[in-house]
Structure 1
Amino acid sequence: MESFSVRGDRALGPGDQDKLGFREVAKRIAMSLVDRASEDGLVVGLEGAWGSGKSSLLFLVGDELTRLPTAARPTVINFRPWLIGNRDALITSLFSELSNQLDQVALAAGDATPISIAKAKKAGKALRSFMSALSKAGGMVEVAGDVAGIGAVKFAGKGLKAAGELAGTQAPPQLSDLKDRLVASLRELGHRFVVTIDDVDRLEPGEILEILRLVRSVVDLPNVIYLLCYDSEVLAHSIQAAASVQNGRAFLEKIIQLTVMVPKPEAFQLRQWFAEALQQIGTAKNEDERERLRQVIDQEGGRQLRTPRSVVRALDSIRFFWPPLREIDADLADLVWLQLIKDGNSALYRWIEEYCGTAAALSLGTARVDEAEKSQQLAALEAAAGERVFDDHLYRHSFSAQLAGVTPNFSKSGPAFQLFERVDDRTRDEAIQSRRLASPDHYRLYFAMATPSHALTQSDFNVLWEALATSPDQTATVLLAFQRQNAAGTLTKADLMIERIKGGAYELLDGKQCRNLLMALANSMDEAFRLRPFDGFAFSSQWDRALPLVGLLLGRLKPAQRNIATRDMFAEGEAIGWLTFVFRHEIFAHGRFGDRRRHDSDWVLATEQQLDDAIRIMLSRYKAMALKDIQQSPRPLSLLFAWQQAGDEKGPRQLLGTHGKSDEGLLQTLEGLTSQINTSNRGIVTVLSRENIGPFLDYEEAVKRVKALAKKPKFKGAATKIMKLIDEGKQF
């Protein structure tokens, strides 16, 4: 049994369950750290807000690194600086950890391995020599201003310069030579070391600066990869305070060479450089993707690729993210567009991430966005993008083309975009099939290298398609199995499958499969309701989703087959509650009851003959039902109204009147006539109203009898409960 004990704010550890689905993300990060990182060393930042799961993901990355094959497995050093008292101790501790691990590498080395004992011992000796000399030199590290005003790292005390730092001051030859020997021996050893440093942003500002200096200068060594875990906003502020610089984020970018955001982001010459290098990383699948990629490089590249560093960082980001996405046929143009924005404007990247999540929820019917929120999101977009960015109409068009439901406005007045506009089914399905950023099933791949938790798999479709080719019973079994599986929010996999079939997949079904699916729905939808009940005020229930699918499936059949399928569905379907739901919709849509006949495009049953058949069949079924069976259906009151609205005014009155002659029968009958009211101050309230009782029983007489029964000991409890429901009904 799953424990619901409060575990506190701590990261995942050995034996803990990965409830956030970070394992696959961690596995891909681990593989990229080993396969894609340069032998010159690398500093990777694992970025995310406090509480977003950074430490858990960091643990999983370390765990995945230890599971790699022996030949590819790096040595992982979990360096925890908050346990160490001061700057000198930080340096000593990290070097000691590295030295100890080099000794372990030497012990594990042998003639049968790529690493020789001699090389490992040589690297260990070089490291200890450098450590000793550095200790004697004082190891002082300080910041000096550079031309950018950000600050550069150098050694003070004995005056040793860190490699790649300020030019003009010669380092002492002895210490410099020792570091060169250490660099050469580690490069020759050819073994990877991954140093993980968690919660950097929780240190004091001065300690943060020492850690960053440490990984970028003092221990900037070949084949040593650092994985730092932090909140970039917090870290940038701490750097500004500790280093007395104006731009903490720019300083941080000099230290961190590549970032991974945790999952809930001359100009022509630069673009040409980027485009030529990109061809070595990935190629477009078809002409459409190639043309979109060209536009992305011209439009977004022209805005974001302003420096050589921005080109290198963008290319490195794509090298890091593209290999796992390529395996699942993701869209290269979408990835390049997003990575250019991430490296050039992280605020805009995060806005896109949030927008895509909301747009996906809208597509699934699990969210609403009112006009006020649309205005807020538009203001947030303009603030993140920067002032007057969207004045360029060409860029406005290219930006909107990447995202679902974003429509550009090219008039001289009004906002630049309309957000969260309705996306037609065909456009949505094309995005899903192409695994685009605009796909509600695949957008998260581009942010977290993982599909959304609600995404359907090809295996899911294969299982259903096999069942559709077999029988209605097998199809119903599969649909109910999907109904038991959570997807997103209150949605199940059955909800998503119905949406996908309705969205266009039904066109792939032959006549037999259409009939099998119709009968499966007619047999299983009441059980689906019992598995996942919904109230009558659901924004878009599963019954609502399945309703138009009936019309689409019937439309795939020839007229004679269509009539037979309609009769079989209503006559043999076991889901009497859902069939009643469909039936009532058609009675109103065709104008058989009520005064608002709807356009035939809203009809599920395409002809009056089909509706006549349904009326005849359903009236016959209603008359044959016992009151107990009616009350056990998902919505008994709806069934009784359907019986009357189909033309048999007396039938339900006679059934309920007969059953209500006894005192016990009256209370049971009234209990089945309750309904729910959605109030503004009390939420959903269950009531017994005159409108529900009057069509089937004499209201005044029924109330009088219940009041009398409330005074009798035998019926007091049940009758009092009924009276409370009646009193509630009088208020609405």
Structure 2
Amino acid sequence: MNRQQGLLSDSALENPEQDQFGYSSFAENIADTISIRTPADEFVVGIYGQWGAGKSTVLNFVEQNLEERSDSPVVIRFNPWWFSGQPDLINKFFSQFRAGLDLEDNRFDNIREKIATLSRGVSKLPAEAVGVPISPVAKGVADVTETDEPELGEVKESISEALRESDQQIVVFIDDIDRLTNDEIRQMFRLVKSVADFPNVTYVLAFDRDVVVEALEEGERGVQNGDRYLEKIVQLSQHMPIPADNSLHVFFTNRLDAIVGEDEVTFNKTHWQTVYRHGIDPLIETPRSAIRLTNAVKTSYGAIGDEVNYVDLIAIETLRIHFNEIYEKIRENKTRFTVRNHPNQGKDLDHDFLWENYEKPVDTAEMLLSYLFPRYSRNEISPWKSISENEDTYRKRKRICHPDMFNYYFRQTVPEGEIPQEEFTSLKTSAQDHEKFAQILLDLSEQEGKSGRSRAYNFLKRFQEHSREIETRKEATLGLFEVADHLVQVDPRANSLDDGNIGLLFQTVYSLIEEADKPTQILDDAISTSHSPYFGAYLLGLLSQEHGEYGGTERLERERLLQYEDICDLRETWVNQIENQASRGDLADVDRINLVLERWRDWGDSDDAVEWVRRYTADNESLIEFIEYFLTDVNASTGETYEILKLEQIEPFLDIEDVESRFNTIDDSGLTERQEEVVEIFIQAQSLEDPNSLEGWAFNRDR
């Protein structure tokens, strides 16, 4: 992953050559206006723009442009925000003003001394004397009664006369006025209007006009009309220009592109164009807003870039930056937004809770939500309504709306037990060698994943989504078959909606061989060489359902994976494997032997299967173990779970009366508690009129 590029600073640019938004020509025009003027009195220029629009950059460009001229003025910079909260803001201004006049030729030395006198005097005056609000703590215990107001007037007039005679233009840049408190904002404008209104001095003020107007009007000392007040002070008002055509778009998208560099990212260009045009572009109004969002994306990408969908990451970060209250509600309500793959899940959900007590415009937020979360349906006119995707597609594309992916975006880290993208890519490559692949799956099965599953389960969930990308289909299939029964045992079926590894294995193998040139040959090799008879029986049973067997609905020929004749050949291969295991004496070690025996009876010589069971159950301990294989857990409406036994499943292999006779005469003193439970369940099944009735089992169990 590309992590070399750092965050982008939003500091003002210094050099017009760095300009990307067309601000340099705007600054040059202002500099021209300042240069050609020979005002007898003070002149005030106002540059208006919202926060982050680039006002400080324009001030820098104006300053450099002026300094490059042969008749360059004396330039003084003052940022009152540096001194905000301090009681002597006016004195700080005069100190900066004096420092700016400290030139090598000493021509302003006399003026500088007079400015110091004026500063000391003004700091002693009560606010009403010059219209400047001065905090009571500004001068501590200053004795304002000793101040001679006429003398201050004389000092100021003396300064004005000296500046007029100097014939030297002075330009004072004052930035960040809109960051001050309301009282401080009023101080700055009264300073410019009434205190430091000197000839040959041009003030260039940069601020957000709306913020300043509100501050001027607020409170007991506020003016009645802030707009008119500004008009009396500012002789030349200039609004920040709209960035040059497409320049902000280019700046923003180039930055996003630079974040990923040469990385391979999950990125749908069609989706991006719609998301950007309707959900992000309206929010990118200034260079600072572009920098703020790209820096957020950069930080998140550095943590989880390999694991997520890049468009989704940009979109959710946009919500976090611009609609943080909505973002927090989404984070706290995962189930309301993530897709689930079963009927009607997520339809007609009420998402109005997102907008409770929310007063900001929400059009862009709703557009982003409708893209990120298909379950969000508040706006029926959505550009995403026509896009058809399913849960598997969402997971493969690392979409935030998939329940497995949601936490990645909000935790900014790979959830514990998950397979990071870099590791997954390496593991996926191992499918080129079936032995190596099988060993890796075994290793993963011994590692703890999330939600009580192994990391093998987490890997298979992702591998199944990418199975059609695997070129070595045969090697991958052989590797899966080699360890399939072990994986099924490690991560068994949890409920009707969670098949565990058995479902993932079937889907993966089906996808691998579906587009293979010789699917039957691949399966034949896998069945004949593997140690997974249960998975082989399960797979062939489901493939048989495509032909209407085992309760399946017969599919059209073009929809079947294999011809029936091919399935019969594979069954024969599987039976040969079972017979070989039986002759070696290790068939009893097979997990879920009940299904294996049923398929052996169906696809091979039924007498062979029955004979094997007869020999295997010759002793009572093995008989009990055999019966236990056929026990099934069922959930009652009360929430309780019962183990039941359907006698018709064991009748093809054992004589029920013979088993009953053996259990009636068994010496239970040597049985374990579990063995006693199995015997009791068998006897209970014998006593029920309908062993398939859950109510009967519950009644007898509770007696």
**Corresponding position: 1:322 with 2:298:** yes
Judged with a 3 Å threshold, the aligned counterparts in structure 2 of structure 1 residues 722 and 482 are, in CA distance, closer, same or farther, namely: closer
**Corresponding position: 1:583 with 2:550:** no
**Corresponding position: 1:423 with 2:399:** no
Pick the aligned partner of 1:462 from 416, 422, 426: 426
Question: Which residue in the other structure is 1:474 paired with?
Answer: 436
Judged with a 3 Å threshold, the aligned counterparts in structure 2 of structure 1 residues 268 and 673 are, in CA distance, closer, same or farther, namely: farther
Judged with a 3 Å threshold, the aligned counterparts in structure 2 of structure 1 residues 341 and 542 are, in CA distance, closer, same or farther, namely: same
Cα distance between partner residues in 1 of 2:337 and 2:282: 26
* Matched ranges for 1:232-243 at <5 A: none
Question: Which residue in the other structure is 2:204 paired with?
Answer: none
Question: Which residue in the other structure is 1:722 paired with?
Answer: 678
Give the C-alpha shift of residue 497 in structure 1: 3.7
* Matched ranges for 1:633-652 at <5 A: 633-646=590-603, 648-652=605-609
* Matched ranges for 1:191-340 at <5 A: 275=249, 278=252, 281-283=255-257, 295-296=274-275, 298-301=277-280, 312=288, 315-322=291-298, 325=301, 328=305, 334-340=312-318
Letter in 2 for 1:506: R
Question: Which residue in the other structure is 1:693 paired with?
Answer: 650
Question: Which residue in the other structure is 1:574 paired with?
Answer: 531
Q: Is the 8 A contact 2:534 2:592 kept in 1?
A: yes
Q: Deviations over 1:657-685 (max 9, x none)?
A: 34445444433432333222233335443
Question: Which residue in the other structure is 1:240 paired with?
Answer: none
Cα distance between partner residues in 2 of 1:637 and 1:490: 26
Q: CA RMSD in A?
A: 5.1
Give the C-alpha shift of residue 477 in structure 1: 0.6
Cα distance between partner residues in 1 of 2:478 and 2:459: 16
Give the C-alpha shift of residue 522 in structure 1: 1.3
Cα distance between partner residues in 1 of 2:548 and 2:414: 45
Cα distance between partner residues in 2 of 1:683 and 1:631: 31
Question: Which residue in the other structure is 1:618 paired with?
Answer: 574
Q: Which runs of 5+ in 1 are unaligned?
A: 1-23, 40-153, 172-265
Q: Is the 8 A contact 1:296 1:337 kept in 2?
A: yes
Give the C-alpha shift of residue 656 in structure 1: 2.5
Q: Is the 8 A contact 1:678 1:685 kept in 2?
A: yes
Give the C-alpha shift of residue 589 in structure 1: 3.3
Cα distance between partner residues in 1 of 2:597 and 2:298: 58
Pick the aligned partner of 1:450 from 404, 413, 427: 413
Q: Is the 8 A contact 1:652 1:696 kept in 2?
A: yes
Judged with a 3 Å threshold, the aligned counterparts in structure 2 of structure 1 residues 371 and 649 are, in CA distance, closer, same or farther, namely: same
Q: Is the 8 A contact 1:407 1:418 kept in 2?
A: no
* Matched ranges for 1:533-552 at <5 A: 533-535=492-494, 537=496, 539-552=498-511
Larger RCO, structure (CA 8 Å, separation 6 or more): 2
Pick the aligned partner of 1:165 from 170, 181, 187: 181
SS of 2:591's equivalent in the other structure is: coil
Cα distance between partner residues in 2 of 1:319 and 1:716: 65
SS of 2:520's equivalent in the other structure is: helix
Percent identity over paired residues = 13
Question: Which residue in the other structure is 2:328 paired with?
Answer: 350
Judged with a 3 Å threshold, the aligned counterparts in structure 2 of structure 1 residues 654 and 346 are, in CA distance, closer, same or farther, namely: same
Q: Is the 8 A contact 2:492 2:501 kept in 1?
A: no
Question: Which residue in the other structure is 1:525 paired with?
Answer: 484
Judged with a 3 Å threshold, the aligned counterparts in structure 2 of structure 1 residues 398 and 341 are, in CA distance, closer, same or farther, namely: closer
Give the C-alpha shift of residue 520 in structure 1: 0.9
Cα distance between partner residues in 2 of 1:535 and 1:723: 25
Letter in 2 for 1:401: Y
Give the C-alpha shift of residue 585 in structure 1: 1.9
What TM-score does the superposition give when structure 2 sets the normalisation length?
0.54
SS of 1:697's equivalent in the other structure is: coil
Give the C-alpha shift of residue 343 in structure 1: 3.5
What TM-score does the superposition give when structure 1 sets the normalisation length?
0.52
Q: Is the 8 A contact 1:325 1:445 kept in 2?
A: no
Judged with a 3 Å threshold, the aligned counterparts in structure 2 of structure 1 residues 408 and 294 are, in CA distance, closer, same or farther, namely: same
Q: Is the 8 A contact 1:689 1:726 kept in 2?
A: no
Q: Is the 8 A contact 2:336 2:349 kept in 1?
A: no
Judged with a 3 Å threshold, the aligned counterparts in structure 2 of structure 1 residues 643 and 354 are, in CA distance, closer, same or farther, namely: farther
Give the C-alpha shift of residue 523 in structure 1: 0.9
Q: Deviations over 1:482-531 (max 9, x none)?
A: 3334444345443344344433443341xxx2221111111111222344
Question: Which residue in the other structure is 2:56 paired with?
Answer: none
Number of residue pairs the alignment of both structures matches: 469
Give the C-alpha shift of residue 688 in structure 1: 2.9
Letter in 1 for 2:371: A
Pick the aligned partner of 1:705 from 662, 666, 671: 662
Cα distance between partner residues in 1 of 2:309 and 2:293: 15
Q: Is the 8 A contact 2:349 2:376 kept in 1?
A: no
Q: Which runs of 5+ in 2 are unaligned?
A: 13-133, 141-176, 189-238, 686-690, 698-703
Q: Is the 8 A contact 1:706 1:722 kept in 2?
A: no
Question: Which residue in the other structure is 1:213 paired with?
Answer: none
Cα distance between partner residues in 2 of 1:490 and 1:554: 30
Give the C-alpha shift of residue 717 in structure 1: 6.0
Question: Which residue in the other structure is 1:515 paired with?
Answer: 474
Q: Is the 8 A contact 1:405 1:419 kept in 2?
A: no
SS of 1:677's equivalent in the other structure is: strand
Give the C-alpha shift of residue 579 in structure 1: 1.6
Letter in 2 for 1:483: S
